[in-house]
A and B are shown apart, each in its own frame.
Chain A
């Protein structure tokens, strides 16, 4: 049911830092590169444990992506770290040519994604990154939902061959996935079975989706709740099966509704099981300054908005 054994709330970037340290312990080929944001990315533990495998790149993200691509040629498994904005838009061409087209085993790890970056405002609040990365052939795109899932995802991507975009965030959020969470890349997590409406959520919107589902269930509306942590490759089978069961779908993401999870779900269902879809996300706009909670409320990325969307679809 919709009950979880909660771990202490924590930020997903700390989950990344913890996962990176574990991956580094497990495999000597794991190296880390950071563009002057070691503390923000929580890469300090790895840096301390493996100083010779840590590369301080300075504020030079384009070079960081190229150096990471080059390191793979000697068999290394590079994890790059900077904010999501500087991990994608700023270096799109470097990723496209030197990493994706060249099929290099680089893990692009991106923190402070989305509105929840908060007060720094729209310059840093990237809401287009999932779209950009998903369009690159061969790129795996992962957007975990809490500390435990981010840690598990970080360890999992070290084990796979090929380029990955791993997106996480800044604020402390409810930590509800199990500490021994078995993360399977490309496999949806079916959190809860229901028959009236499907709620498909990713990243920071998964917990608000749980809260909305609890409220809906209390009113007798049963929710088929799915966590899509891997946006590419997408678990289309899980999405289609759920839509067939409920006939109504809500997608939830901290991203522009153009090019993100919602677009991918809509494309899948248009082909395999057309049905009404409501998109919770940022509607083709930039963000702004504010606290994470204020912003998520203002832009309708919260439990209340998900609940209301479901009620409206009934």
Chain B
């Protein structure tokens, strides 16, 4: 590990500041899921993934790749990409504004470093990750491919087409993660369309399943390391991240209300008061 848990937590605090400021600035965007997935993305990009931001190219040969399938949580991804050196941190100020490379949902269209496929319409990222992982196998490249999906997103049928395919074809260089916060736009996943026993579902589809607290940096580091150790053994891997939507900002936590709503000026102040500025605001 290149960074301590404390250092990672400090980065996460800054990323959370970035998220609420970006969303507030344009009065649009998705803070809830972004805050909930902050710890996972920070653990991946600053500790677990083998990647080199200064040598970014589309193919990513010899490097681990990451795909964000639930593209609406773009604020956390943009912040983590910028903070790990893919593009200037100052560019975060352009989020969702006209002519920006930081579109509402991630895209390759504006050639933003770190992004390899568009996402936003849900359910497509796992397939893309499996394709990229298959290309790595053909190329003799032993790197890993990560993909994050929302839990509500698992209601999309394509996810299960991809799950069936990866197990059948032993795509064991993919590590998928599910942001298991139990919330979606219209309410809790239990109310809207129950996911049932997610662990049993993934296992029935032939996947190796890990569970962890997605908002505990120590647990995340341990679990991701275990998942990496389980790669290359004939089975695709999924990590179910138990997270709290809106994590880090007390009035946003644990509710679907902040899925796609921006804080007003007063709410922004209250949020920032809870999040230490550790690396300097953009």
Query: Footprint of B on A, CB under 8 Å?
Result: 31, 52-53, 55, 57-58, 60, 62-76, 78, 93-94, 96-98, 101-104
Return chain B residues, CB-CB under 8 Å to A76: 135, 138
Return chain A residues, CB-CB under 8 Å to B133: 70
Residue of A nearest to B65 (CB): A73
* Residue contact A70 to B158, C-beta cutoff 8 Å: no
Chain A interface: which of B124-132, B202-210, B261-269? B124-132
Whether, in the assembled complex, B60 has its beta carbon less than 8 Å from a beta carbon of chain A, the answer is: yes
* Residue contact B129 to A70, C-beta cutoff 8 Å: yes
* Residue contact A74 to B162, C-beta cutoff 8 Å: no
Other-chain contact of B127, A58, A62, A101 (Cβ < 8 Å): A62
CB distance from A204 to the nearest CB of B (A): 32
Chain A interface: which of B44-52, B115-123, B229-237? B115-123
Count of chain B residues with Cβ under 8 Å from any Cβ of A? 39
Whether, in the assembled complex, B196 has its beta carbon less than 8 Å from a beta carbon of chain A, the answer is: no
Other-chain contact of B121, A31, A53, A70, A93 (Cβ < 8 Å): A93
* Residue contact B107 to A71, C-beta cutoff 8 Å: no
Most buried by A among B123, B130, B131, B165: B131
Apart from the given pairs A57-B165, A60-B162, 19 other A-B contacts in the complex at a CB distance below 8 Å: A52-B138, A58-B161, A60-B164, A62-B127, A62-B161, A66-B158, A67-B162, A69-B131, A70-B128, A70-B132, A72-B135, A74-B134, A75-B59, A76-B135, A94-B124, A97-B118, A97-B120, A101-B118, A102-B118
* Residue contact B132 to A73, C-beta cutoff 8 Å: yes
Return chain B residues, CB-CB under 8 Å to A94: 124, 127, 158
Distance between Cα atoms of A101 and B135 in the complex (Å): 21
Whether, in the assembled complex, B253 has its beta carbon less than 8 Å from a beta carbon of chain A, the answer is: no
Other-chain contact of A73, B117, B120, B165 (Cβ < 8 Å): B117
Kindly count the residue-residue contacts between A and B in the assembled complex, taking CB atoms under 8 Å apart: 118
Whether, in the assembled complex, B96 has its beta carbon less than 8 Å from a beta carbon of chain A, the answer is: no
Whether, in the assembled complex, B185 has its beta carbon less than 8 Å from a beta carbon of chain A, the answer is: no
Return chain B residues, CB-CB under 8 Å to A53: 138
* Residue contact A67 to B138, C-beta cutoff 8 Å: no
* Residue contact B138 to A74, C-beta cutoff 8 Å: yes
Residue of A nearest to B139 (CB): A74
Per-residue 0/1 for B56-80: is the Cβ within 8 Å of any A Cβ (1 yes, 0 no)?
0011110001000000000000000
A-B complex: 6 closest residue pairs judged by Cβ atoms: A70-B131, A74-B135, A66-B127, A60-B161, A63-B161, A67-B131
* Residue contact B135 to A63, C-beta cutoff 8 Å: no
Other-chain contact of A67, B116, B121, B134 (Cβ < 8 Å): B134
Most buried by B among A55, A64, A102, A104: A102
Whether, in the assembled complex, B259 has its beta carbon less than 8 Å from a beta carbon of chain A, the answer is: no
Provide 22 A-B residue pairs closer than 8 Å at the C-beta atoms, listed in order of the A residue. Answer: A52-B138, A53-B138, A60-B165, A63-B130, A63-B161, A67-B131, A67-B162, A70-B128, A70-B134, A70-B135, A71-B132, A71-B135, A73-B60, A73-B116, A73-B117, A74-B132, A74-B139, A75-B135, A76-B138, A98-B124, A101-B107, A101-B109
